[in-house]
Structure 1
Amino acid sequence: MRFSVKRISLIAAALFGGSMILAAAEYAGKANLDKWSFLIEKYGSRQNGVLSLDSPEAGQTPYASIGGIRLRNGCTYILTARVKAAPGTQFRIYIENPKKWENKLLGPATGDGEWSEIRGSFTFHDVETAPSHAVFQLLGAGHAELRSLTIEPAPPEKPGEPREFLGGTTAPDWGIQPAGCGRIRDGKLTMNAPGTAVLGNLAVKDMQPYECVVRVRSTPGTHYRMYIENASNGVWQNVMIAEADGDGSSRVFRGYFTFRKPDAPSYFVCQFTGRGELELESVRLTGLEPVPPGKLRNGDFSRGAASWELGEAGAIEAGELHVAVRENGVVRRVRQYAIPVESSRRYRISYDVRGTGAGDANAFHWFRVYPEEIPSGEAEKQFQSCMNYPQRKSIEFVVPPRRETITLAVEVRGPAAVAFDHFRLEEVVERKAPGEIKLDLPFAFRDGIFSTTPDRKISGTIEINTPKAAKWTLLAAGKSIQPEGKRFEFTPPAGKTQFPLELILFDEKGGEIARSSKTLHIYPHRPNEVAFTRDGYLVVGGKRFFPIGHTETTGRGGFDFEFREFAAAGFNTVSLQATPAILDAAQKHGIKILRSLPLAIAGKTPEQRAAMRELLKRDIELQSSHPALLGYFGADEPAWIGVPFDGLKEVYELTRSVDPWHPSWINEAPIVTNLRDLRRYSQAADIGGIDIYPVPEGGAHGSLEEDRGLTAVGKFTDICRRVVDHRKPVWMVLQAFAWGQCHNPELPPEQAVYPTWEQSRFMAYNAITHGATGIIYHYLPYAKVLGEEFWRDLRRVTRELNYASDIITADTCFDSPLKTDCANIRFLHKKLNGNDYLIITNEGRLPVSANFAGFPAKAAELHVLLEDERKIPVKGGAFRLDLPARGVAVLSPQPFAPREKIYREEGMRPYNAPAEEDAESALLKHGSWIWRKCETPAGSRSFFRRSFDGEKVRKAELYVTADDFYRFRLNGRPAGSDEPGRYLRGGWNSIEHYDLTPLMHAGKNLLEFEAWDGGAVPCGFHAVLKLTMHDGSEHTDGSSAAWESAADAGGPYAPSVEIAPFGGAPWGRRIIVQEGNSAHRE
């Protein structure tokens, strides 16, 4: 799109500046006519203040000129002339400087016999050492008169104030070629034949962002394009404003640009082709608010909609951007244009987002935020979801080469209503070490070896990040290791608890250029320690372990009931907030616990944070040696929610420093628009994971729009393994609910769509064959009444996984000789006790008959798990396997246990059968969950008080907990802790029992509580006071609205707000009572 600029060009322009001419200067009129000179005197005359040119011959081009015009470098002037020419006479006016022959041309124009005003602007850049001159010229035969010619400084340009190049201007402002293809009339450019119209000498500022808006109408059968371009110092810069076929309607186009060092004038070009007519109604150029590279304008909407194009669906409400789209599948867009960036650099866009309405059928609101310059198909352009609570999101991208600006697009896909705020753009500076040591599993777990680690040879990879490195040396405890290329393996030195592993890089001449090191640990034995295999499977107490878990308990009964029912169903793991008593109950039934961790060290003051840090450390120390502890659960979907990473990482580092023998796991949402963000969060855990709930198929869970079905499980498993660089295990979270009941717990089971047995089984093995080393299910308690058929189907899958766990966790033969001719088959070849096992899935939507060859075992037939009568003939290591769509087969040369024995359904307890109630649960029903009335409950504190008469009381007992912390006093004395005044961790699912009798008075007794929410709703307080009288009778007083509460200890106090009865949502009956520290006398 280059346009050749000649000494006398066809370019017209408009910009701003000042000059040696400080006010309007008149160069024609009566006072200055004698200063004009004629090329041919006989063709010119001066009379009555008018300069005239006459030419009787078509080939003559007579002109008159005036010199001595002093201009200032880089400043912009407006030239205005009053001209009358005979009909058909062509003329032009231009101003020129001889030093570099810079010029500004107005015309050619054709006269109509009337006086008209010609107006244009120009900027010269090297003219102060030589005066300029103006020229009035005829182009052929005819007569023309010049009455006035004025040059004046243009007013300064102000960002946000548009400059219009049509409307009030006339034909000489534009150059049109070829002659006769167009004209300007009534403030519009009209073209009725193919040609080019150019508006030149657009002096734009260096790195100043501009908006160009054009309004155009063109008849069908035509084509046009419009662009702005600059050619300076051999560098061409341009931006397309519009390119379209005419359709007869009036259309508006916008373009945004920023030119770097535009030393020469820029120009606007309109090219027109086809048979018909084009009418350019408006060309407007506006300088936008300049901001430094990598910064947004008005990202917090404090200036309303300034700098944003809201479109038809956007609105600014209460300082937020709201975009609402009702129509299903319709996308509406809001933009910010011309955001300055540096080419080829990486940036992060972060922002707050929340849904504000019903959303889709799953209550999700779908949106995406991205720079339009990113190529289509990239992960950053995938739609993602939010729900009706605030989340902090971000994406990262690399600016394409030779890009100086980007356009930020905010899109919402209906049905959705989304609020955005606090947009921020910042450069991401990547600082990689010149060389890095990356350990393989299992050694990457805590950088070392545990006593139960199966493989004792440490291995890994050297990563070189500098081209200067020609060779390198690896030292283990000072002893050289000889890598094979960039791979290494060695036996750790004996007799050490830790030692350095050091990488030294050298250049071609042998000079050292960099060092990096890693401290490796030989951990002492712990009876309950957890290690990993090279495949990422757990080793617990020296035995391999495949987690089959559930997030939280179901809330149907107490912990003893819950753990017994989970164990009977084949589950072996539960994640929850643990206490020693909960761990004891889990151990009784063979359940392993993933202890939930806080998202950050809570506290609003340094003193509170220090106390909470010490409390967490003490809890971990207390629980770390318990045989039921499997590890820690750090966070659920932290990247999607926007959990602050620093707080999460601080908790992780504290946990691993206190308890290096147990791993931490975090689970992410299936939103993979920012893998770098997921990688960052993975640094706060030892095990990665992603949840995916694709039933019914074709739903809206997950950002992989190319796969909304069951096989998305395997794809997300692959993504998660890439996120952790294949150096950490991956546990996938699978669906144990119906979406309808997720949003409406009252929905009857017969109306809910649950995963079938076939679907649940395929999803589990799809995850396993893609490398998952654990499966956690979520979330049975969504349903008030769960479908019994679904519970039976899920129970069959979990019991099968439990039975097959030795096969699943066996060593994988990655160099298996087994081959198949079916592309939809995915399989794992396992070795266990010298036997070969196969786990095979059909990922296709159609049944397959797959041929296999190369099975190494000398077997005549293979047995099929759960298909007791089926045998697969094998001949010469080859066999054929028929599998249904999304089918699964586990094969072995040895017979499996009968299906009925694996399922053990005889006497199975219905899921919805009432749980037996223990005496403690019956007592706790006397109290409700309460809090004070407050507008912002998250992170708030509540003070409660309750009095009782100690007369005739033989024993006073208190059962108390809080979500999240509490402490209390009796009669002004701190109670319930060895360290008076310290916060206690209620953990809400653990109720502490205290004997208050030692601090009780015979008369009035006052209980005072302080409860503190850890930073996220829900928050609540629950207590029951049990009084045993001297006559043996019992009286209970449970927390209720009658208990007074306040925001401060000094009041004022008012009735509390009852949030839920004991056993009600969101806390349920997942409660265990444990003994608190006895009340004491000071």
Structure 2
Amino acid sequence: MKRISLIAAALFGGSMILAAAEYAGKANLDKWSFLIEKYGSRQNGVLSLDSPEAGQTPYASIGGIRLRNGCTYILTARVKAAPGTQFRIYIENPKKWENKLLGPATGDGEWSEIRGSFTFHDVETAPSHAVFQLLGAGHAELRSLTIEPAPPEKPGEPREFLGGTTAPDWGIQPAGSGRIRDGKLTMNAPGTAVLGNLAVKDMQPYECVVRVRSTPGTHYRMYIENASNGVWQNVMIAEADGDGSSRVFRGYFTFRKPDAPSYFVCQFTGRGELELESVRLTGLEPVPPGKLRNGDFSRGAASWELGEAGAIEAGELHVAVRENGVVRRVRQYAIPVESSRRYRISYDVRGTGAGDANAFHWFRVYPEEIPSGEAEKQFQSCMNYPQRKSIEFVVPPRRETITLAVEVRGPAAVAFDHFRLEEVVERKAPGEIKLDLPFAFRDGIFSTTPDRKISGTIEINTPKAAKWTLLAAGKSIQPEGKRFEFTPPAGKTQFPLELILFDEKGGEIARSSKTLHIYPHRPNEVAFTRDGYLVVGGKRFFPIGHTETTGRGGFDFEFREFAAAGFNTVSLQATPAILDAAQKHGIKILRSLPLAIAGKTPEQRAAMRELLKRDIELQSSHPALLGYFGADEPAWIGVPFDGLKEVYELTRSVDPWHPSWINEAPIVTNLRDLRRYSQAADIGGIDIYPVPEGGAHGSLEEDRGLTAVGKFTDICRRVVDHRKPVWMVLQAFAWGQCHNPELPPEQAVYPTWEQSRFMAYNAITHGATGIIYHYLPYAKVLGEEFWRDLRRVTRELNYASDIITADTCFDSPLKTDCANIRFLHKKLNGNDYLIITNEGRLPVSANFAGFPAKAAELHVLLEDERKIPVKGGAFRLDLPARGVAVLSPQPFAPREKIYREEGMRPYNAPAEEDAESALLKHGSWIWRKCETPAGSRSFFRRSFDGEKVRKAELYVTADDFYRFRLNGRPAGSDEPGRYLRGGWNSIEHYDLTPLMHAGKNLLEFEAWDGGAVPCGFHAVLKLTMHDGSEHTDGSSAAWESAADAGGPYAPSVEIAPFGGAPWGRRIIVQEGNSAHRE
């Protein structure tokens, strides 16, 4: 064995060891001293110790060794000892008598190298010394002893503490229970092995990996520990029973101020043998608390454990799992955090393959230290488009690091990127005023608000507050505890409501206030009851809606069919003409809003803001307007909140008389995120589509059935703090047709009548104040039986809406003995009504007591012949599994009258085609060819000969905005350069004749997508000739398009024919401003 050593320039002159220093060999033998001279000798560069007596422990030592505080050194010695001779080598410092022992070791008559590392922490004021010692009778020789600074520790480079170590590195008790052999620690009797003097740096994250094999019937545990300044820190690396296999365990830790050396401990019990094959310690990349390593994968897989399913592709983390139900995991370990603080993990995610039967990819991202059962640990879903997700969590007490787990559950293929960890700093005002419904809606009272006494709650967020006072327009209100109620001052349109907090000595410590409004009357205003039900035009209203129209025909046809089926609400992009058509059939409209103010420049944003403001002003007084639809599933999709909130604030400032609603996905892993998005709306909602039961929609692992509707209703009500209404979105489709519109109806699984009815009333009995259905046009051919069943439910809800929206008796005296029963007690015109559901999977016979009405019997809605006897306020009700009963002392209308199915139009029957639709078929939806269509612009041009033309008419729209010129002159608006429309479901009709001239005429269009696909442009030019003939020229690939007005121009791309997906026939023609001459 050969070793090359560097000699320090001034070995014993007081200099610190900065390089390798040799303390034995020919040059240094004279510097060693012997405890007993006769037992030692120096000869031929070798230091020898001899002891003829078993009780003697002679030694030789060398002093003057200057060490640096906190520096890790490696001691290497070359020793030969007679067989059976025991010896040891150690370094010692007298300041605090710190020492590092190498041994005891037993000689075998051959030269061998022993090696160990050590770190001293208070040694610079006194030199250390090295000792070579015999332990009893025998003979040993020392040829070399080198001390050198350990190389700087680099993150990611492991240090191995077995394989290259020898017995002197380990202390084993009791003696004989274990040994070091062939680079492994073997224990064959109960005992403890300790590897001391581990150099661990302050706040440096480490990974410890051990590989161990232990026979059955044994038990072991391994940990790393540090005891400094009276503080014990440790981390468990492994604890398991032996099973005969070789197993790998990992532990991660960060120690604070480890002034004393750390140590690794292996404890072994049982009968058998343990073989510790490897102990590896790796310093990880240090990062500040609350930061991830390589969250954007710019350094490949660095700092991530990819496991068997993870891979880095094109700067993203890809995890693919084919097997159904199998979970694969990727991890990042030892992420430093601060104990008990709140953090947010955000990231980009998208599916990359087929996913499950519903095209969902299931995954979860969470810190492993969060207790099981928390919402943050629920699986959630994504689809094949990018989404920004986040979760929030609180670090458990006494945790300094976390492990981030990224899990995917098959069948799924998911791509992740841009992981970010940041601390969430919660800042609550010392005191807050929280108004009850209906006053929480726009902080005030409307002329049709049923309740005129304002009420609410005071929330105190500081322990310093001993008492408080509340002032309304400067007048003191005496709250009862933290509840208050008062009559607003007369003659005011607005007034301050102010909360003042005082300490125990009466000193003021904080103030908070709200401005309350008394809104002037608007004929079409919308208000709410205390229960959250709508009041429209002074009458209570229960929305029974659908998202968009079905695309089967024009708006007049669609609204007529919806009204006949009991629907009363539709959400869509509205224009005055669409509102007129809806009003004709008694349909209320939720006008869709953009997700943000579009525009890439301040000028563009200002123009689009003004356009949205004008549209809202124009439509806000229309009697068909119910409110606004802000966004669908914004938290799940990752819609930027700031843009959504800006649109909401603009809408409510222009039109305070109509509420905004947003709907969220049934993914509730981050309720705080849902609460944040709820600030951009006045009404909350969650969609849930659980048929077939046991499917994969929603993050509630414990309920994949119909009763998930009620649970998500409860969750949504908690999200809005019970201070906003909740409208639930229910299933009006089959999942199979959602992903395959061509699937025949007989192969599709639709909700049955019983299921649809239960889901509706399950939502209602849990507090939903509106129901919106989604989404009939998924199917190319819808099942007629399903349409009949759904139509029966919506017509029943329409009939029962007065009962549903009646005041709820929250202190009802009615009681039942059945835990699966959920009911609402309603009071309407002096009569008592009951809405009852059985949430169980089995039929029930439920006993009720305390019904307050003096009725001998109760009538059952839809069960014309059934009557429930009542005696002394008690009755028994039989309900099937997932059954519903609506009870009244008064008879209901006959079932046939409620359903009105005679002459019902089949859903799939062809709609009547009007002349305008026939004309619009001459044009297709087109756009220019571009790689990123979202937010893009397209310029189109088309020419025509006006020589023999008597009249030129243009029908045009765009998804989302357009403007145009004829022969170089702005047309269609009295404001040159103004974008004409926001939306695609209305086509504007323009008479171009005033701007036309004989010869060639050039039409130039600019279309602009609002920021989200799809984008498209549709136009038809109709020319009426002097001889009475007509010619049409519709948008097609023949129309030239370009990215800029100046070109170059090329044939356009045809996206869909008129009436095709995704736009369908949901189009109405309205008159645009007449073309004009300048």
Normalising by structure 2, we get a TM-score of 0.98
1:827-859: CA deviations, max 9, x gaps? 000000000000000000000000000000000
Q: Retained in 2: the 8 A contact 1:13–1:199?
A: no
Q: How far did residue 292 of structure 1 move? A: 1.1
CA distance in 1, matches of 2:565, 2:149: 87
Q: How far did residue 57 of structure 1 move? A: 3.2
Q: How far did residue 285 of structure 1 move? A: 1.4
Q: Retained in 1: the 8 A contact 2:119–2:199?
A: yes
Q: How far did residue 212 of structure 1 move? A: 1.5
Q: Retained in 2: the 8 A contact 1:556–1:914?
A: yes
CA distance in 1, matches of 2:841, 2:593: 41
More displaced 10-residue stretch of structure 1: 107-116 or 892-901: 107-116
1:236-262: CA deviations, max 9, x gaps? 111122222222322222221111111
Q: How far did residue 173 of structure 1 move? A: 1.8
Q: How far did residue 16 of structure 1 move? A: 22
CA distance in 1, matches of 2:600, 2:92: 71
Decide whether aligned partners of structure 1 residues 522 and 679 sit closer, same or farther in structure 2, where only a CA change above 3 A counts: same
More displaced 10-residue stretch of structure 1: 82-91 or 552-561: 82-91
Q: How far did residue 7 of structure 1 move? A: 31
Q: How far did residue 18 of structure 1 move? A: 14
Q: Retained in 1: the 8 A contact 2:953–2:993?
A: yes
1:996-1016: CA deviations, max 9, x gaps? 111101110000111111111
More displaced 10-residue stretch of structure 1: 982-991 or 462-471: 982-991
**Aligned equivalent of 1:329, options 325, 330, 337:** 325
1:641-682: CA deviations, max 9, x gaps? 000000000000000000000000000000000000000000
Is 2:197 the partner of 1:235? no
1:679-713: CA deviations, max 9, x gaps? 00000000000000000000000000100000000
SS at match of 1:908: coil
Decide whether aligned partners of structure 1 residues 947 and 17 sit closer, same or farther in structure 2, where only a CA change above 3 A counts: farther
CA distance in 2, matches of 1:396, 1:10: 54
Decide whether aligned partners of structure 1 residues 67 and 761 sit closer, same or farther in structure 2, where only a CA change above 3 A counts: same
Instruction: Tell me the equivalent position of 1:573.
Output: 569
Q: How far did residue 204 of structure 1 move? A: 1.5
Q: How far did residue 266 of structure 1 move? A: 1.1
SS at match of 2:819: coil
Q: How far did residue 265 of structure 1 move? A: 1.2
Is 2:984 the partner of 1:988? yes
1:369-448 → structure 2 map (5 Å cutoff): 369-448=365-444
1:574-629: CA deviations, max 9, x gaps? 00000000000000000000000000000011111000000000000000000000
Q: How far did residue 220 of structure 1 move? A: 2.5
1:87-119: CA deviations, max 9, x gaps? 222221111111111111111112212111111
More displaced 10-residue stretch of structure 1: 440-449 or 260-269: 260-269
More displaced 10-residue stretch of structure 1: 936-945 or 767-776: 936-945
Is 2:272 the partner of 1:279? no
More displaced 10-residue stretch of structure 1: 376-385 or 203-212: 203-212
CA distance in 2, matches of 1:8, 1:222: 44
1:960-1007: CA deviations, max 9, x gaps? 000111111111111111211111224110101111111101110000
CA distance in 2, matches of 1:187, 1:644: 57
CA distance in 2, matches of 1:386, 1:17: 69
Q: What percent of counterpart residues are identical?
A: 100
Q: Retained in 2: the 8 A contact 1:664–1:686?
A: yes
**Aligned equivalent of 1:295, options 291, 309, 324:** 291
CA distance in 2, matches of 1:750, 1:172: 78
Decide whether aligned partners of structure 1 residues 986 and 238 sit closer, same or farther in structure 2, where only a CA change above 3 A counts: same
More displaced 10-residue stretch of structure 1: 468-477 or 140-149: 140-149
1:517-556: CA deviations, max 9, x gaps? 0000000000000000000000000000000000000000
SS at match of 1:100: coil
SS at match of 1:585: helix
CA distance in 1, matches of 2:943, 2:226: 83
1:1007-1042: CA deviations, max 9, x gaps? 011111111111100000000111111110000111
Q: Retained in 1: the 8 A contact 2:8–2:18?
A: no
Instruction: Tell me the equivalent position of 1:837.
Output: 833
CA distance in 1, matches of 2:4, 2:1021: 98
1:298-331: CA deviations, max 9, x gaps? 1111111111111110011111110000000000
Q: Retained in 2: the 8 A contact 1:15–1:204?
A: no
Q: How far did residue 23 of structure 1 move? A: 2.5
Q: How far did residue 1052 of structure 1 move? A: 1.0
SS at match of 2:642: helix
CA distance in 2, matches of 1:995, 1:663: 37
1:122-162: CA deviations, max 9, x gaps? 11111111111111222223222222211122221122222
SS at match of 2:227: strand
Q: Retained in 1: the 8 A contact 2:8–2:20?
A: no
CA distance in 2, matches of 1:942, 1:156: 60
Q: How far did residue 226 of structure 1 move? A: 1.6
CA distance in 2, matches of 1:158, 1:242: 25
CA distance in 2, matches of 1:1051, 1:1011: 14
What is the total number of aligned residue pairs between the two structures? 1078
CA distance in 1, matches of 2:417, 2:596: 24
Q: How far did residue 206 of structure 1 move? A: 1.3
Q: How far did residue 208 of structure 1 move? A: 1.1
Q: Retained in 1: the 8 A contact 2:7–2:20?
A: no
Q: How far did residue 279 of structure 1 move? A: 2.1
CA distance in 2, matches of 1:1020, 1:749: 31
CA distance in 2, matches of 1:762, 1:753: 17
CA distance in 1, matches of 2:295, 2:606: 35
Q: How far did residue 15 of structure 1 move? A: 22
CA distance in 2, matches of 1:641, 1:819: 43
SS at match of 2:26: coil
1:434-491: CA deviations, max 9, x gaps? 0000000000000000000000000000000000000001000000000000000000
More displaced 10-residue stretch of structure 1: 828-837 or 75-84: 75-84
Decide whether aligned partners of structure 1 residues 113 and 887 sit closer, same or farther in structure 2, where only a CA change above 3 A counts: same
More displaced 10-residue stretch of structure 1: 215-224 or 98-107: 215-224
Decide whether aligned partners of structure 1 residues 1024 and 478 sit closer, same or farther in structure 2, where only a CA change above 3 A counts: same
1:39-118 → structure 2 map (5 Å cutoff): 39-118=35-114
1:169-222: CA deviations, max 9, x gaps? 222122222222222222222222222222211121211111122222222222
CA distance in 1, matches of 2:206, 2:279: 13
Instruction: Tell me the equivalent position of 2:159.
Output: 163
Instruction: Tell me the equivalent position of 1:193.
Output: 189
CA distance in 2, matches of 1:369, 1:18: 56
SS at match of 1:766: helix
Decide whether aligned partners of structure 1 residues 283 and 14 sit closer, same or farther in structure 2, where only a CA change above 3 A counts: farther
1:585-664 → structure 2 map (5 Å cutoff): 585-664=581-660
CA distance in 2, matches of 1:124, 1:155: 16
Q: How far did residue 82 of structure 1 move? A: 1.1
Q: How far did residue 273 of structure 1 move? A: 2.0
Q: How far did residue 42 of structure 1 move? A: 3.2
Q: Retained in 1: the 8 A contact 2:6–2:21?
A: no
More displaced 10-residue stretch of structure 1: 597-606 or 132-141: 132-141
Q: How far did residue 38 of structure 1 move? A: 2.5
CA distance in 2, matches of 1:170, 1:59: 25
CA distance in 1, matches of 2:492, 2:256: 61
Cα RMSD over matched residues? 3.2
Instruction: Tell me the equivalent position of 1:564.
Output: 560
Is 2:891 the partner of 1:895? yes
More displaced 10-residue stretch of structure 1: 656-665 or 285-294: 285-294
SS at match of 2:125: coil
Q: Retained in 1: the 8 A contact 2:824–2:835?
A: yes
CA distance in 2, matches of 1:191, 1:8: 35
Decide whether aligned partners of structure 1 residues 13 and 881 sit closer, same or farther in structure 2, where only a CA change above 3 A counts: farther
Q: Retained in 2: the 8 A contact 1:13–1:202?
A: no
Q: How far did residue 19 of structure 1 move? A: 7.7
CA distance in 1, matches of 2:20, 2:752: 85
Q: Retained in 2: the 8 A contact 1:16–1:153?
A: no
Q: Retained in 2: the 8 A contact 1:862–1:892?
A: yes
Q: Retained in 2: the 8 A contact 1:14–1:121?
A: no
Q: Retained in 2: the 8 A contact 1:963–1:987?
A: yes
Instruction: Tell me the equivalent position of 2:681.
Output: 685
CA distance in 2, matches of 1:108, 1:313: 47
SS at match of 1:31: helix
Q: Retained in 2: the 8 A contact 1:21–1:70?
A: yes
SS at match of 1:150: strand
Stretches of structure 2 lacking an aligned partner (at least 5 in a row) = none
More displaced 10-residue stretch of structure 1: 149-158 or 922-931: 149-158
Instruction: Tell me the equivalent position of 1:817.
Output: 813
CA distance in 2, matches of 1:989, 1:13: 88
